[in-house]
Amino acid sequence: MDQETQSDAVQTAVEAIADRLSVEKQYLTELDSAIGDADHGANMDRGFRTALERVEETDGDPAELVKTAGVALVSEVGGASGPLYGGSLMKASQELEDGITAETTVAFAERYLETVEERGKASVGDKTMVDALTPAVHTYKKSIEVDDCEPIEALGRAVDAARRGVEFTTPIHAKKGRASYLGWRSVGHQDPGATSTLYLLEELLDVATEYVDGEVVIDAEADEVPEPDAEDVPADGGE
């Protein structure tokens, strides 16, 4: 997949996430009303709408576009989600400087998780986005590096792992974030940050699948149609 197609894939992913969050906005806010400050849906929706506008205005390689989205989230989200989602994208974008390959996406995922853990000082079991993210990142890495999966299959397994992680947040007691102030009253509620993390991963899987299967004809503009060999690139680990 050439650089232009990769950049286009990043933009499509940001757009897909922005669309998904606008659909899920109310549900995320309902989850956050139960155990937080009831702003997660609105914050994520506003953040990704701004990220999409900025990404559309930017003409850059995939790393620059991901960084641009991160900067927009940091300035627009206005809560812990700004530094957690945006700051982590900014840091992890450095791993995509050589383009999007199986190897760079594993590094990207690990860097993203590491930044979230450092910034939020949260671990698995604290009832946060880390509960969805950790199994997803570990599963992705293992599927590629140990099981030799194609990146799409690895990402599919990662999404399943994140979904189980989200389910795991419901019966546990929050130890980080606003929900931790509720103590035992947080038990029985699904974590909004873990949930939105799952939505991001689901949309990434959808967009990656479209691009890798070579089904995408972008905006009907002939000069942006993926190269005929586009589907081979992520699978063999790079260009």
For binding to other proteins (CB under 8 A), which residues are involved?
37, 39, 43, 74-84, 87, 119-120, 176-178
Question: Cβ of residue 72: shortest distance to other proteins, in angstroms?
Answer: 12
Q: Minimum distance from CB of 21 to other proteins (Å)?
A: 18
By beta-carbon proximity to other proteins, the closer residue of 37 and 224 is 37
Q: How many residues does the chain have?
A: 239
Given the complex with other proteins, which of 85 and 168 has the nearer CB atom? 85
d(Cα 130, Cα 122) in Å, to the nearest integer? Answer: 7
Identify whether the C-beta of residue 162 lies closer than 8 Å to the C-beta of residue 201: yes
Measured from the CB atom, is 182 or 235 closer to other proteins?
A: 182
Alpha carbon separation from 99 to 20, 143, 239 (Å, rounded): 25, 20, 9
Query: Minimum Å distance from CB 113 to other proteins?
Result: 16
Q: Considering the complex, state which of residue 8 and residue 32 has its C-beta at the smaller distance from other proteins.
A: 32
**Which residue, 40 or 163, has its beta carbon nearer to other proteins?**
40
Give least dist CB 74 to other proteins, A: 6
- Residue 119's alpha-carbon distances to 9, 88, 115, 141, 195, in angstroms, are 28, 9, 6, 22, 19
CB of 75 vs other proteins, minimal distance in Å: 6
Q: How far is CA 144 from CA 85, 105, 130, 140, 210, in A?
A: 24, 10, 21, 6, 19
Q: Residue 95 in contact with residue 108, Cβ under 8 Å?
A: yes
